[in-house]
Amino acid sequence: MLTDLIALRDTDAEDIRLLLDTAQSFREILERPVKKVPTLRGRQVVTLFYEASTRTRVSFENAAKIMSADTTSVAASTSSVQKGESLLDTVRNLRAMQIDCLVMRHPQSGAAHMAAQALDIPVVNAGDGMHEHPTQALLDMLTIRQRKGRLEGLTVAIVGDILHSRVARSNLWGLTKVGAKVRFVGPATLLPRDVHRLPVEVSTDLHRGLEGADVVMALRLQQERMERGLLPSLREYSQRWGVSARALEVTKPDCIVMHPGPMNRGVEITDDVADSGRSVILEQVTNGVAVRMAVLYHLLGGEAAA
């Protein structure tokens, strides 16, 4: 049984499939004119974000609201974190207000795990440093499954700044657990040092990396996490590593293109690809709400625990 959602590396394939199936069944609620079900009535969900976010925070909050939970969002920039309060003191104080679930994003890898150990309520990792972002990978997997009808046997090429990407890591663990193949494609300076110990194919050549891919996922250059000297100029980077219509010529003809957002158009992805019929980028965003509903539902026990 799921008690927290911290990392897909530590999540069973069975639980991953359960979350995807539940999210798929919740998609229908999002199409209704009145988007409200009573499932989590009376529950309090707090989102605590120490890093910028648009999609992730709004979709967690909307997911909770659709299921009738109450939500409070705390941004570290306007909280007592600014006065020097530690992460553990902050989360213990929130818990003391009798909240039922904590969703958190933090720049330090392992932060959500630490909070989960300190609290007796479910904690959801909404991104911890360069480590994991499990709900992003789940929404990516749901989007792929909707378009391709399956995940098993597919080749997913993840392109760009893998080194700093928690999205790449969560997708690697999630996708391989359900039988997809993952390729990390990018310049050697932006690949993790331990990449050869991971269950992944690696390519430092865009052409070879995209060959025969069913899915191409472009990643943002996370310059906020970068040391200097990892990159040539942005212009050179986009010419060599940008996902363009030309670069996609070697993929499977029905290959889809994904991006977790926020996109830097003209850097890691060209405008025409981002807006093309192959792009499923906005479907990913819609699925993000359904996946977060599923995660809150299973962690908070749904109606059974009401």
Interface with ligand NCD (CB under 6 A): 55-56, 127, 133, 136, 166-167, 220, 222, 260-261
Nearest in space to 7 (alpha carbons), one of 126, 142, 180 = 126
Nearest in space to 282 (alpha carbons), one of 304, 258, 249, 254 = 258
Coil, strand, or helix at residue 45? strand
CB 186 within 8 A of CB 212: no
Which CB atom, from 11 or from 170, has the smaller least distance to ligand NCD?
170
Compute the least distance from the CB of residue 208 to ligand NCD, in Å.
24
Which CB atom, from 13 or from 52, has the smaller least distance to ligand NCD?
52
Which CB atom, from 95 or from 281, has the smaller least distance to ligand NCD?
281
Compute the least distance from the CB of residue 96 to ligand NCD, in Å.
29
Which CB atom, from 122 or from 134, has the smaller least distance to ligand NCD?
134
Compute the least distance from the CB of residue 167 to ligand NCD, in Å.
5
AA letter at 219: L
C-alpha Rg value of the chain to the nearest Å: 19
Nearest in space to 176 (alpha carbons), one of 142, 151, 159 = 151
Compute the least distance from the CB of residue 192 to ligand NCD, in Å.
15
Which CB atom, from 166 or from 292, has the smaller least distance to ligand NCD?
166
Compute the least distance from the CB of residue 188 to ligand NCD, in Å.
20
Compute the least distance from the CB of residue 234 to ligand NCD, in Å.
15
Which CB atom, from 234 or from 250, has the smaller least distance to ligand NCD?
234
d(CA 64, CA 299): 12
Compute the least distance from the CB of residue 108 to ligand NCD, in Å.
14
Contacts of residues 190-194 at CB distance under 8 Å and 24 or more positions apart, as own/partner, are 190/160, 190/161, 190/162, 190/163, 190/164, 190/230, 190/231, 191/162, 191/163, 192/162, 192/163
Nearest in space to 295 (alpha carbons), one of 76, 53, 102 = 102
CB 124 within 8 A of CB 102: yes
Nearest in space to 299 (alpha carbons), one of 127, 103, 142, 114 = 103
Which CB atom, from 122 or from 288, has the smaller least distance to ligand NCD?
288
Count the helices and strands in the chain (H runs, E runs). 10, 9
Q: How far apart are the first and last CA of the chain?
A: 18
Compute the least distance from the CB of residue 52 to ligand NCD, in Å.
8
Which CB atom, from 11 or from 125, has the smaller least distance to ligand NCD?
125
